[in-house]
Chains A and B, each alone.
Chain A
Amino acid sequence: MWIYEKKLEYPVRVSRTDLGMAKYLFAQYGGPDSELSAAVRYLNQRYTIPTNRAKGLLTDIGTEEMAHWEIIATMIYKLTRGVSPEQMENAGLGAHFTQHDTALFPHDAAGVPWTAAYIQAHGDPITDLHENMAAEQKARSTYEHLIRLSDDPGIIDTLRFLREREVVHFQRFGEALNYVHEYMEKDKCY
């Protein structure tokens, strides 16, 4: 089970309304390498992964990804608060307004809705951990692109935190992978 804590993992400070940046941030809300993909990928893989270390890591990183999904949502919410349909349209969010008003919806920066096809679970622990390490790198480079697209110090600060978490998660998945290799070697009967 999960118990909700009514606070963010890291603060979100936004200087001004910025619909262009909100549109780009949807990449991490419902895109292929989004925090949503990360959370569902890890929390779904954990049932069949063999070692307790990897089960712990998938549970705990998957949970942290849900907190990051909430941080991205908060950024988009704050960047779009109180805007008019005209402002949405001028920022390339006219289609979003048509279907969702200013409500959030898990789609990518171009409006393509989230799909489970973005993630994978092979059941092979080596394959799944490599999938996760690749996912962390793809999210890291997405955050670097987003940082280059923003001039708001508050947005940049939060994006830098999220980027750093991808680096740490990559490191932890690498350690879990090494241990799974050892575990599988130990288990072999010749």
Chain B
Amino acid sequence: MSRKEMCEPKDPCLNEYELLEQLMEVQFLVVELQLYLDTHPNDMEALRLYNEAAMFAHRLMQQYQREYGMLMAHAPNGREKWEWIDSPWPWEIDYKKL
């Protein structure tokens, strides 16, 4: 994923699976840069990219959880029911829809 793609605002028409796919892509970028920075802690360009990617992943995560259900239990949940167990389990998702 190029930097330009990464920074483009999300298309509001993305469905649940498309949004999940975009989140997975950006979070993977965060993981990859994290490992790189562990052994290159003074690489300022990588650090800048990491911060951008991490911020974007955070926004996508919040958006997904607001629209489609919980990905992490450690988040305030103001609705009337414990929803953590309702969203699909990763091994049960049909990724062919992505």
Contacts and interface: CB of A to CB of B under 8 A. Distances in A.
A126 interface: no
A179 B39 contact: yes
A89 interface: no
A77 B90 CA distance: 11
B72 A5 contact: yes
Interface string A48-80: 000001001100110010000010011001100
Nearest to B64: A7
A117 interface: no
Interface residues of A, number: 29
Contact of A168 (B35, B41, B87): B35
Interface stretch (B2-10, B24-32, B45-53): B24-32
Contacts of A9: 24, 27-28, 31
Interface of A: 3-13, 53, 56-57, 60-61, 64, 70, 73-74, 77-78, 154, 168-169, 172, 175-176, 179
Interface of B: 20-21, 23-24, 27-28, 31-32, 34-36, 38-41, 70-74, 84, 87-91, 93, 95-96, 98
27 contacts: A3-B72, A3-B73, A4-B72, A4-B73, A5-B72, A6-B72, A6-B84, A7-B90, A8-B24, A8-B90, A8-B93, A8-B95, A9-B27, A9-B31, A10-B24, A10-B28, A11-B24, A11-B95, A12-B91, A12-B95, A53-B39, A60-B31, A77-B91, A169-B35, A172-B38, A172-B39, A175-B40
